[in-house]
Amino acid sequence: MSGAHEAMEHAEHTEHAGHGGTLGKYIGITMALITVLIAFCTAVIGTVHNELMKAMIQQADANSFFSSASTKFRIVMDELEHLRSQAKSVQSPALADAGAKEQVATSSVDPVLLHRFLQVYLDYTKERKYTKEWSDSFDPLIDAQFDATEGYETAQFIAEVAIVFAALAIVLGSRAVWIFSIVVALLCVGQLGKTWINTAHQINVAHEAVEKKREAYDGLRKAHTGANQDEATVEFLDPDGKIRASLKGAEEKK
C-alpha cells in the first residue's frame, strides 16, 4: 500500500509539473483504480484469514471434547476390566468334553452396577464417535480457507505489480507500459474471480458439514442430560440422601 501511495504522489507531481498531459491523467486514474483493487484484496485476505483462524480454534475445541470423551471411555473400560477380574470363570462341560480350552464367565458382580457401566460405555462410545467426526469435519473447511487466502494473496501481488508498471508509465511517458499495467490489473481481477469460484462453494459446503456434526453432538449431549442418568445413579446409591447430607455438613464445618 505504501508503494501505491508513493506512486500516486509521483503521478500528481508529474502532472503538476506539466509532464503528464492527457496520458498522465489516464494513468493517474488507472493507478487510483488499481489502488482500490489492492485495498479490496487486502480486506478480503483479512476476512478469510480471520475465518481460517476461527475454524482452527473451533477445531481445537472439538478435539478437546474428543480427548475428554476418550479419557472417560478409557476410565469406563478400566472399570469393566476390574469387574471382569471379579467374575468367576468356569469351564463349560460341553467344551470340556470337546477338549477345548475356552472358558465361560459367570459374573458375580452386581447386575445393576454392570448394567450402568455398560450404558456409560455405550454413551462414551457414541460421544467419541461424534466428537471425532466433528473435529475431522473442520479439515475440508480449513483447507478451502487456506486455498482462498493463497489465491487472494496472489491477486494482491498481481495488483501491486500492475501499479508498479503504471508508475513506470508515468516516469517514461509510455502508453505501451500503461496499457500493460491495465492488462496486469485485469489479470488481478481474473485471479480474484477464479479464487472466489473455486473456494466459495467449497467453504459453504464445509461450513454446512461442520454444523451438522456439531448439531449431532449437541443432540447427543442433550439426550444424555435429559435422561438424567447421572442423577439416577446418585439416587440409586444414596436413595435417602443421608450420605450427601453428611458430606455437605462436613464441608460447612470446615
pLDDT of 215 over the 70 cut:
yes
Q: What pLDDT is recorded for position 19? A: 46
CA proximity to 70, closest of 129, 137, 134: 129
Q: What pLDDT is recorded for position 65? A: 87
Q: What pLDDT is recorded for position 103? A: 47
pTM score above 0.85: no
Give residue for cell 471411555.
Answer: 73
Quick one: angle between helices 21-86 and 111-136, nearest 10?
A: 160
CA proximity to 154, closest of 44, 7, 50: 44
Residue pLDDT, tens place only, 44-64: 999 999 999 999 999 999 999
Q: What pLDDT is recorded for position 95? A: 45
Task: Spell out the domain ranges in the chain.
Answer: 2-67+113-238
Cβ atoms 192, 48 nearer than 8 A: no
For 217, counting Cβ atoms within 10 Å of its Cβ (0-12 exposed, 13-18 middle, 19+ buried), the class is buried
pLDDT band at residue 1 using 50, 70 and 90 as cut-offs: very low
CA dihedral angle for residue 87, residue 88, residue 92, residue 93, rounded to 10 degrees: -160
pLDDT of 251 over the 70 cut:
no
